Amino acid sequence: MKKHTYSIVLTDTVVQEVDRLAAQKGTNRSTMMNQILADYFSCKTPEKQMASVFSLIEQQMQNVFRVQLQASDAMISLHSALQYKYRPTVRYRVELLRIPTENSIGWLKISCRTQNQALLHSMQQFFRFWMHLELQTYPAYRTVPELYVLTENGMVRRLLRHNLETEEEVADAISSYIRQFDRLLKQYFAGLQQQVPAEALQAALEQSYLQMQAGLS
């Protein structure tokens, strides 16, 4: 849905009310006016589509994750606590593209706010292991540019479009991906806490991953 610049004449009172509402919503005047007019004419804007996806994600995840809506209409954050020293929190931030490309709908940014270097190292090890699992299971992913980006305290994963068309399909796919990642991450840290030998832990994680991909758990 393309946008263009138009010149319109409005009274100062109307503009003040638009600005007031925009400030409450954490957006700008143009976006707020676009949303107001879209509501009036029952138009489905990209912002409304993203809001619908996030609402569906929230409904599916709120019983397991702490959901945090962002000031931006294009993102939502989910928080999950690890069974580890000091119970660090892992944040899953979903950022959607206003206009999806042919192959991408946005990004999933996974991070852990901690200064514990041992924890950060373990997280990096798991990110690399997850990447290995995905690329081994889905070899076609190897051709996707910048599918993963590792950062100092996290990982960014491009969200692929696949054949997702409806808001429900997008929300289901994102929610399922995060649940699977979080479940395996917690299994990994539980194994570390129990001092499970590395080879045995890797084998157990691989088995759990394959079961999740097959829809068996």
Dihedral sign computed on CA atoms, order 198, 199, 203, 206: positive
Gap between the Cα atoms of 89 and 70, Å rounded: 17
Residues 45-54 have pLDDT tens digits of: 777 888 889 9
Gap between the Cα atoms of 117 and 207, Å rounded: 28
User: Quick one: average pLDDT of 191-197?
Assistant: 93
pLDDT, residue 70, reads 65
Contacts (Cβ under 8 Å, ≥6 apart) of 203? none
Dihedral sign computed on CA atoms, order 189, 191, 194, 197: negative
The two three-digit tokens of residue 117, written as one number: 């270097």
CB 93 within 8 Å of CB 153:
no
Other beta carbons within 10 angstroms of residue 134's beta carbon come to 18
pLDDT band with cut points at 50, 70 and 90 for residue 217: very low
Residues 69-113 have pLDDT tens digits of: 766 678 899 999 988 777 789 999 999 998 888 889 999 999 998
Gap between the Cα atoms of 168 and 161, Å rounded: 13
User: Quick one: average pLDDT of 201-209?
Assistant: 95
SS3 106: strand
Nearest Cα neighbor of 28 from 68, 69, 70, 71 is 71
Share of the chain above pLDDT 70, in %: 95
Contacts (Cβ under 8 Å, ≥6 apart) of 33? 18
Burial bucket for residue 185 (CB in 10 Å: 0-12, 13-18, 19+): buried
pLDDT, residue 3, reads 67
Beta strands in the chain (DSSP E): 66-69, 75-81, 89-96, 104-112, 148-151, 154-160
Gap between the Cα atoms of 138 and 114, Å rounded: 32
